[in-house]
Amino acid sequence: MTDPITPPAAWAPPQGALGDRLKAWVRGPARKYLAIFGWLLLLTLIEVGATFFSMPKKTLAAFLIGTALVKALLVALYFMHLRHEVRLILAIVVLPMLIAVLFFFGLFPDIVVGPRAAP
């Protein structure tokens, strides 16, 4: 399975001043990973910033969980290369998640109708 993120093996670090080499490296093999890093950083800052705004608790919770899921998806798709994985690997990842979510929602009736625990 080839990894489209990984640049071709023919890529070689350019010669020259350290600044030029660093610039070439950032524009070359590291570009994709640094872009994802930037997005993850931005989303984390947005998450932390959102807690300082006064908004309804449920809206804030939904926003924070949504942002966290987007971040988790970015890590899984790009750093873990799930975006380009074969079906077998996708099945190995998705099936336990589906089962776990099913079990999780199976507990929901306990929350809705069960006795409330002490804090």
The residues binding another protein (CB under 8 A) are 1, 3, 5-7, 9, 11, 29-30, 33-34, 36-37, 40-41, 44, 47-48, 51, 60-61, 64-65, 67-69, 71-72, 75-76, 79-80, 86, 88-89, 92-93, 95-97, 99-101, 103-104, 107-108, 110-111, 114, 116-119
* Shortest Å, Cβ 19 to another protein: 18
* Shortest Å, Cβ 70 to another protein: 10
How far apart CA 34 and CA 101 sit, in angstroms, is 32
Query: Interior CA angle at 37 toward 49 and 10, to 5°?
Result: 170
How far apart CA 3 and CA 111 sit, in angstroms, is 44
Characterise 81 by phi-psi region: left (phi > 0), alpha (psi -120 to 50), beta (else).
left
Q: Which residue has the tokens 């950032």?
A: 26
How far apart CA 97 and CA 90 sit, in angstroms, is 11
* Shortest Å, Cβ 59 to another protein: 11
